[in-house]
Amino acid sequence: MKGLVVFYSRSGNTRKIAQEISTALKFDLEEILDTKSRKGILGFLSAGNDAMQKRLTLLKEVKHDPSLYELIVIGTPIWAGNISAPIRTYLNIHKKNFPQVAFFYSGLSSDNSKVFKEMEEICGKKPLSLLEVTSREIKRNIYYEKMKKFIDDLSKEMKKVNGN
């Protein structure tokens, strides 16, 4: 199965998880780049405000066309309890091009199920698998079992789709 891992990362946590998923599944990797600076305290505050207001942002052009893949794994940081503005924008732009999806997020807490629900609503697709990783788990390198389960679940789903 041909897959793509798409992510946005302000601090590097979501990037780390995305890279590990991409490597494990041998999927292509697409980092979403925002044209708006999210650096420093002002960028942090602006990011939270944009997420709470459910604003879209202007993205740099993507390199990979999601319609050319069978599975899109989409990762977002949690900003003020919401999807990051860059991923919200990506979902809105490309939702008609997603064959199948899986979602993951990195955030301060692991109780952000509304984020996955909203991602599903925007895409109009039920995710094959979900992964929640907290910043604390990333810093302490204690998320590997969760990530292994996520990858195993996706591998099983891919085998079903491919008829194996």
Q: Which residue ranges in the chain fall short of pLDDT 50?
A: none
What is the total count of domains within the chain? 1
> What pLDDT is stored for residue 163 in this prediction?
66
> What pLDDT is stored for residue 110 in this prediction?
63
Percentage of the chain exceeding pLDDT 90: 64
Q: Closest Cα partner for 76 from 47, 97, 96, 98?
A: 47
The residue segments making up the domain with residue 16 are: 3-162
How is the chain split among helix, strand and coil, in percent rounded to 5? 45, 20, 30
Query: pLDDT for 78-117, tens place per residue?
Result: 988 899 999 999 999 999 999 999 999 998 876 667 899 9
| pTM of the shown model | 0.90
CATH number at residue 94: 3.40.50.360
Q: Which amino acid is at 30?
A: E
